[in-house]
Amino acid sequence: MKSIFEKIINREIPAEILWEDEVCIVIKDIEPQAPFHCLVIPKRKIERIALAVESDGKTIGHLLIIARQMATDHNLDSGFRIVINNGAEGGESVPHLHVHVLGGRQMKWPPG
Ligand code: 5GP
């Protein structure tokens, strides 16, 4: 079954796209948890970080570099947070790996 993110990548459902290249797409989160909240999503589906293998390393590295680029492009100079939720207890709700980039407010620790 196609994930909601595959449908967005295929333009079957709309999303606000901030960046796209051959490896990933970046969209604004539909339910933002901070003034800036985007998702960096690999086009080639990896279900979750727990299922990533050595050969996914280049893709995952690219996701982090683009996450950093999003923070720079959106002037998150005073700080930002990168999050990957994994599995039910980790708070994952979409089974297609994605990197959250959040910023524009003071982050708390520990996270909820
Ligand atoms: P997770 O909970 O799996 O770490 O993150 C999934 C994220 O995807 C959530 O923050 C949720 O708001 C976002 N999301 C779920 N469905 C959609 C959608 O259809 N469009 C967009 N832009 N974001 C979505």
- pLDDT (tens digit, 9 = 90+) per residue, 30-52? 999 999 999 999 999 999 999 99
Q: Which of 37, 62, 74, 98 is catalytic?
A: 98
> Per-residue confidence at 57, pLDDT binned at 50, 70, 90?
very high
Give the ranges where the chain is alpha helix by DSSP (H). Answer: 4-9, 57-73
Higher pLDDT, 107 or 1: 107
CA of 31 to the centre of ligand 1 (A): 7
State yes or no: is 98 an active-site residue: yes
> Per-residue confidence at 93, pLDDT binned at 50, 70, 90?
very high
**What pTM was computed for the model?**
0.98
| Whole-Å CA distances, 10 to 2, 3, 44, 72, 89 | 10, 11, 12, 27, 29
